[in-house]
Structure 1
Amino acid sequence: MIRFENLTKSFWIRGRQKVVIDNLNLTLPSGRSLGLLGRNGAGKSTLLQIIAGTMSADSGRIVSDGSISWPVGLAGAIHRELTGAENVKFLARIYGVDTEELIAFVQDFAELGDFFNMPVRSYSSGMRSRLAFGASMGIHFDTYLVDEVTAVGDARFKRKSQEVFKDRMSRSSAIVVNHSMPGLRQFCDSGLVLENGGVTYFEDLEEAITYHNDLMK
């Protein structure tokens, strides 16, 4: 369960205040994989970061009864000056999981080769995403936050990412941002639509997609 209580977030852009989350009150159920829809600039990635705790809201709060991952595709939990291996060790200590098991999983999954022991500042954006995705998939979370990460890499790596993500979704919830409707249909069963600072929950993903498409007309 994730509950938003009077949640508000805004930014100042060219001297004007833009509200992206406007006094949101909503409870999301456990055990659902939610596709997060909204027009470009609506605030989808911002909302994921607030849920993860990597960005502060202006007011209000988020209450959850389970563990929540960082926004995977944003690689927000990765430190540029540490090596890939050092980042994984740090995350293992923070989340209380076996260090050697997590290192072995990420090293095998992310396919970084010698770069795994090099500073993350030397990585491409795709390599950083693979490292973050591998680390998050190696840790059990009750809810995974995913921001377009399965689009990273070549066709073989995409298939590999999708397979491990499907396995995690069989046991956990998720909130997924993906601009591909087939991608959302592959992973999600319910939907959220973010529009004008409000979030509407749909138990049926297809209803969410229809509502979103109507807004885009």
Structure 2
Amino acid sequence: MIRLENLSKSFMTPRGRKTVIDRASLTFPGGVSVALLARNGAGKSTLMGMIGGTIQPTKGRVVSQGSVSWPVGFSGSFHQDLTGVQNVRFVARVYGVDTEELVAFVEDFAELGGHFYSPVRTYSSGMKSRLAFGVSIGVPFDTYLVDEVTSVGDANFRRKSRVIFLERMKSAGAIVVTHSMAQVRKLCTAGVVLENGHLDYFEDIEEAIAQHQRNMGSAEEE
């Protein structure tokens, strides 16, 4: 469970202060996969950062019960001169999970072959994304923060990513950001719509999608 208490976030811009989250109070229930829907630039990444603890709110707070992942698939924290397997071992030690189990899982899942033992700086962006997704989903969390990661790789890899994500959702919750309404319907059962700094929670994902599309001024899927 993640609870937002009177949460606000604003930034100074050349045109003055811009508020992206305005006194939001809302609960993301535990064990539920929730889509976060908003137009581009509305503040989805900022909200995910505050929930994940990497961005400080201007006012209010985020209260969580249970562990919350870093953004699933985020590869920016990898040490570029370490190999893939060395990065995985480091993450395992930081989060206190079985090192060999995580290494075996990521090696099989990410499908990097011999590159798993090469420095990450030699990876393509797609290879980094597959490694990042494997590490992220291989560590057990109570809530996963997911941002467009199931679009990585070819059709078979995307299918495999969805399958393992849904398997994790049997014992965890998630907050999912994606521009694909088809993905939203496959991955989520509820939704939160962010518009003009305000958040609305919908237990029915179809109601959330409908509200988001009204905000966008179109019934077309993004």
Contact 1:190 1:203 in 2 (8 A): yes
Deviation at 1:76, TM superposition (A): 4.5
Deviation at 1:91, TM superposition (A): 1.2
1:150 is matched with: 150
Contact 2:28 2:34 in 1 (8 A): no
Contact 1:83 1:118 in 2 (8 A): yes
Deviation at 1:194, TM superposition (A): 0.9
1:178 is matched with: 178
Contact 1:70 1:77 in 2 (8 A): no
Deviations 1:141-191 (A, max 9, x none): 111111010000011111111111111111110111111111110010000
Query: Identity of counterpart residues, as a percentage?
Result: 61
Distance 1:97 1:198, change over 3 A: same
Q: Name structure 2 gaps, 5 residues minimum.
A: 218-222
**Root-mean-square deviation over aligned CA pairs:** 1.5
2:87 is matched with: 87
What are the within-5 Å matches in structure 2 for residues 1-217 of structure 1?
A: 1-217=1-217
- Secondary structure at the aligned position of 1:74 is classed as coil
Distance 1:92 1:78, change over 3 A: same
Amino acid at match of 1:14: P
So what's the TM-score if we normalise by structure 2? Answer: 0.92
Distance 1:190 1:54, change over 3 A: same
Task: Name whichever of 82-91 and 100-109 sits farther off.
Answer: 82-91
Deviation at 1:94, TM superposition (A): 1.5
Deviations 1:68-116 (A, max 9, x none): 1111133344333432222211211111100011011101111122322
Amino acid at match of 1:186: K
Amino acid at match of 1:46: T
Contact 2:74 2:133 in 1 (8 A): no
So what's the TM-score if we normalise by structure 1? Answer: 0.94
Hey, what's the Cα distance between the residues in 1 that align with 2:102 and 2:12? 40
Q: Name structure 1 gaps, 5 residues minimum.
A: none
